[in-house]
Amino acid sequence: MAEDRDPYLEKARTELAILQIHFENDHFRKASQQIETTINHCYRYSHKTRRKPEERILLDMAGKLEKMQSVTDRLKHYEDHEKLEGKGMKVAEDLAPMTEGILDGTNSDREASDRLVNELEDEIKRKEDRIEFLEDEVRRSENTVKDLKERVNELERDQSDSN
């Protein structure tokens, strides 16, 4: 039965396993690079394979990974600011059945894929809102400091005028 497996599909499966590891470790930059590599390889493999079902599976996988790529590219910018702790593990857990569905030729992964993309977009929105809130807090603090400095200067002037 091992001879029956398409070598290009097996290579794609290996690349997806690597992608899953990057997500498990919250390495969104590496995951983004791996997605790009896997997409390119899927297109290349789809042209090399001589089996129509495998070609369709590889093209389907490339399309689904392209959807994930834009979200992952946005996530990688938050890797330095605020760790998305555990979010990568959640992605990896969702990615496993999704990729199995792709590789097995069943299309039962569409819902999982859409849910995963939506969850990641929600997480990004929460992080963006949090950053915006913190930036507002910093501005308010800076204004408070500025007001206090002005008040201190006024008090010093008043004190020097009274002396």
pLDDT digits (tens, 9 = 90+) for 48-106: 877 777 777 778 778 778 777 777 777 766 665 555 566 666 666 666 666 666 555 55
Q: What domains sit in the chain, N to C, each tagged with a CATH number? A: 2-162 (1.20.58)
Measured between alpha carbons, how far is residue 17 from residues 20, 32, 119, 135, 158 in Å? 5, 14, 21, 38, 71
Full-model pTM: 0.52
3-state helix, strand and coil shares in percent for the chain, rounded to the nearest 5: 85, 0, 15
